[in-house]
Amino acid sequence: AKQRPGNSVAFYSQHLAASEAQKMEVEGRLRDAMALGELEMYFQPQASVRSGDVVGVEALVRWNHPDLGLVSPESFIPIAEEAGITVDLGCWVIESALAGLGRLEAAGLPALQLSINVSADMFTDYVGSRLVQVVRDSLKKSGIPPRRLTLEITERTIIDESGNAPQVIDDLKALGVRLALDDFGTGYSSLGYLKALPIDELKIDRTFIMGQDKEDRAFLRAIISMAKTLNMVVVAEGVETQEQLVRLYEEGCDMYQGYLCSPPVSESALPALVKTTFPA
Ligand code: C2E
Ligand code: CA
Ligand code: CA
Ligand code: CA
């Protein structure tokens, strides 16, 4: 599996889905993986559609399993949920991503925006205050100002009535961090939620970027125009071709990420990508 990180990860996720026994092994091992240093944060550049400059990164967790190789977060995050360890994993991700970017900036990397995925489980009554605390402490330790941190939540977080999400969202906003709605268009959120919640950024799911026909284009235009009406920054996900980028430019999309710019890369590989757009 010597492909780009994105590809090898997808390869292993299929293997994992195949075997229940393997799933249980993974569950047991995931508890130790954090302590053993087998989890690693990767960073995918986010670029301005207009200038092409890299202005931010999304942190994406990777598991370097000694036997299975790179395990996809899409297969081990659901397992973490079943095992009841998403909160520990989520806290680890926030600490590690901020620490990683903090290290890079201390070494001279230009200031970037940082986006971190936060699962719905982090917003329940029980752990919401722990989330707020980890964000506050990790920001302080890293020296990164709150305005440069964006927490990516999904429609699932917003519609979860059992939890305490609106209160936790308010507490996070009070810290000064930004909020993004991830995978927009794939879930169930009503426009009412979008208007009511303090969302700063809308991330349009890859499936709406891929389409080429007239209807796809109309849909893209409608999403962007709605987001602009609500004063949200619009980020397109999974941009793979120059054609897609041109269309996003024409429709007024603000930012993009995807293989066209770069796959997710390790902390040590990131500076080379940023320096090409920010000459020292
Ligand atoms: P996501 O947040 O939608 O992240 C984007 C996914 O699309 C990433 O997969 C990324 O590698 C992939 N991707 C990026 N550019 C392209 C492209 O041009 N084409 C295609 N086909 N794919 C592209 P990844 O890293 O495997 O992550 C999958 C999902 O796992 C993420 O989807 C996110 O929901 C979840 N995830 C990843 N890291 C974390 C984390 O630290 N915490 C939580 N809670 N969830 C995470
Ligand atoms: Ca995301
Ligand atoms: Ca997404
Ligand atoms: Ca996704």
pLDDT 10s digits, 144-203? 999 999 999 998 888 876 668 889 999 999 999 999 999 998 877 677 888 888 999 999
Query: How far apart are alpha carbons 117 and 119 in whole angstroms?
Result: 7
Ligand 3 centre to CA of 67 (Å) is 28
- From start to end of 34-84, where are the E strands? 39-48, 54-65, 69-71
Nearest to 76 by CA among 13, 170, 10: 13
CA distance 135 to 172: 8
Beta bridge partners of 54: 47
Which residue, judged by its Cα, is nearest atom 19 of ligand 1? 238
- Taking 50 as the threshold, does the pLDDT of residue 4 lie above it? no
42: tokens are 């990767």
* ipTM score assigned to the predicted complex: 0.96
Q: How far is the CA of 25 from the centre of ligand 2 (A)?
A: 27
Q: Which pLDDT belongs to residue 3?
A: 43
pLDDT one-digit tens code per residue, 18-34:
566 666 777 778 888 98
What local confidence, expressed as pLDDT, does residue 5 receive? 47
Percentage with pLDDT > 70 across the chain: 88
> What pLDDT sits at residue 124?
84
The whole-angstrom separation of Cα 196 and Cα 176 is: 18
Q: Among all chains, which residue has been given the structure tokens 């007024």? A: 252
Rounded-to-integer distance, Cα 262 and Cα 259, Å: 5
* Angle at the Cα of 159 from the Cα atoms of 172 and 75, rounded to 5 degrees: 85
Atom of ligand 1 nearest to the CA of 257: 15
pLDDT of residue 244: 95
CA–centroid distance, 237 to ligand 3, in Å, is 6
